[in-house]
Copies of this chain bind each other. A is one copy, B any other.
Amino acid sequence: MSAPLHDPEAPREPVRLKLAALRAEPLPATFKGLPAIAEGVFLQDLDRLKLSLLDGDLPLPAAVLKESALTHNARWMRAFTGRAGVSLAPHGKTTMAPQLFQRQFDEGAWGMTAATAVHVRTYRRFGVPRVILANQLVGKADLELVFRELAADPSFDFFVLVDSAAGLDLLRTAAIAHGLTRPVQVLLEVGTPGGRTGVRSVEEGAALAALIQAASPAIALRGVEAFEGVYSGADTARVELGALTMIETVAELTRRGCADGWFAPGEVLLSAGGSAFFDMAAKTLAAVEAGGTGHALRVVLRSGCYLSHDSLQYERMQDRMRQRAGALWGEGPGLRNAIEVWAYVQSVPEPGRAICTAGRRDLSYDACLPQPLWWYRQGTHDAPQAAPGSWTVSKLNDQHAFVDAVAAADAGEGALPLRVGDLIAFGVGHPCTTFDKWPLLYTVDDVYRVTGGVRTFF
């Protein structure tokens, strides 16, 4: 058994995912947002229907991705990682959309990140060649899903986390029992006290690294990983210090590991960087040196949300990232929101309140409630009108959003001009929990004509 070697200088084959069957799949009539005319139509033929959201061609709610923003964001991240000298394995759990994975590979992604063994299976079905499973792998059936893929394709490059002796023992025992003919490549997971998974200190990490080494040849230690995004909240200083400390622990363990010979042959991976702190991860980890030990180092960021971005949570965080990043950020403001959910105004039962046809089944509500972005009245407006900042979503039910005009009582009925039948667009904070509510999202041009559809697999 020997670990596969990765030559960072080797020319890269373009990754072409297996999307043909997906594109040729007839769209089921049970999908929300799908109009009668699109039932049974192949995904790849959606654009031929010339559907217009603003003309009312779609039953609402419907979720859309703006083509121009997707393209901008994919290119922006390629440029950013290029400047930073790091690689990207976007977290596919955000979208679970192989068509979007292809866009990410087209813009230079080095691999994809997964959260579960079932994600790994889905990725492999569509031909993703390299996966970081950013969790410890436990459970007979989960292990089997992953080991089957490892056995079936010697070129499948797979990494999984280990954060404890218990987890390591389960993995090693299962790998031997399955008769795997190559080592399972693992990354040592760094956590933080009071946080989620991962070792709590450099010392715990060093102790675990010794155990992983002893699990050779079934297991190969290939690097160090953290998810610093466990830090969040309004206390910026505390949050940033916590995230940075985790990233620095990755750096420290990598340096120690190189010096002390912990790592299996080949590149050593340093991986961190969710969607809120990838600037810090890039800066800190790209500065690590292997110290003449012969190991090549590869920094792998794992942001999942950059492609769609959002209007609220990550948009706010981006302001701070831009400040921190300085010249590394490049020109311009950065990522743009690509994801919106459109609904109808179903009822205006009282002045200052509109009840709209999208709810908890359609919109994120974990980081914050959604926010009205646009409204549009057919026959009156030429283009969507910006929703005033005084409009808020005060409540979500499963299938309804309550849009209130904050100053309605003072301003009279004019504060909320919405009428039954008007269209309204919502922006979200946290794309992950909006994507997972839609088996089909539309791609649209800047005037909301449907250019295609993106299927998700949650």
Interface set of A (CB-CB < 8 Å, partner B): 29-36, 55-60, 93, 115-118, 121-122, 125, 135-136, 138-142, 144-145, 148, 163-164, 166-167, 170, 191, 193-200, 344-350, 355, 357, 360-361, 365-366, 396-400, 402, 419-421, 432-433, 436-437, 439, 457-458
Closest to A432 in B: B398
Report the bound CA distance from A93 to B141 in whole Å: 31
Ordered nearest first, which 10 A-B pairs have the shortest CB separation? Answer: A56-B140, A166-B420, A197-B347, A30-B457, A59-B141, A115-B399, A35-B141, A59-B142, A32-B118, A30-B122
Residue of B nearest to A61 (CB): B116
- CA distance in complex: A115, B362 (Å): 13
Residue of B nearest to A125 (CB): B29
Alpha-carbon separation in the docked complex, A116 to B437 (Å): 15
State the number of copies, please: 2
Ordered by A's residue number, 13 sampled pairs between the chains whose C-beta atoms are within 8 Å are: A30-B457, A36-B145, A56-B140, A57-B141, A59-B139, A60-B139, A138-B421, A164-B349, A167-B346, A195-B349, A196-B347, A197-B346, A198-B347
Chain B residues with CB below 8 A from A167, complex form:
346-347, 420
How many angstroms between the C-alpha atoms of A284 and B141 in the bound complex? 52
Q: Quick one: closest B residue to A142, CB to CB? A: B59
* Residues on the B chain within 8 Å of A118, using CB: 30-34, 59
- In the assembly, what is the distance between CA of A323 and CA of B390, in Å? 44
A144's partner among B29, B36, B117 (CB-CB below 8 A) is B36
Q: Tell me, in angstroms, the Cα distance from A141 to B439 when the chains sit together.
A: 19
By a CB distance below 8 angstroms, the chain B residues around A398 are: 93, 115, 432-433
Q: Is the CB of B32 within 8 A of A458?
A: yes
Closest to A358 in B: B116
| B-side contacts of A121, CB under 8 Å | 29-30
Q: Verify A136–B420 contact, CB threshold 8 A.
A: yes
- Distance between Cα atoms of A346 and B31 in the complex (Å): 34
Min CB–CB distance A178 → chain B (angstroms): 12
Q: 17 other contacts beyond A93-B398, A136-B346, A138-B346, with CB at 8 A cut-off?
A: A30-B121, A32-B458, A59-B118, A59-B139, A59-B145, A115-B398, A138-B345, A164-B347, A164-B420, A166-B348, A166-B421, A191-B349, A196-B347, A196-B349, A200-B349, A361-B436, A439-B458
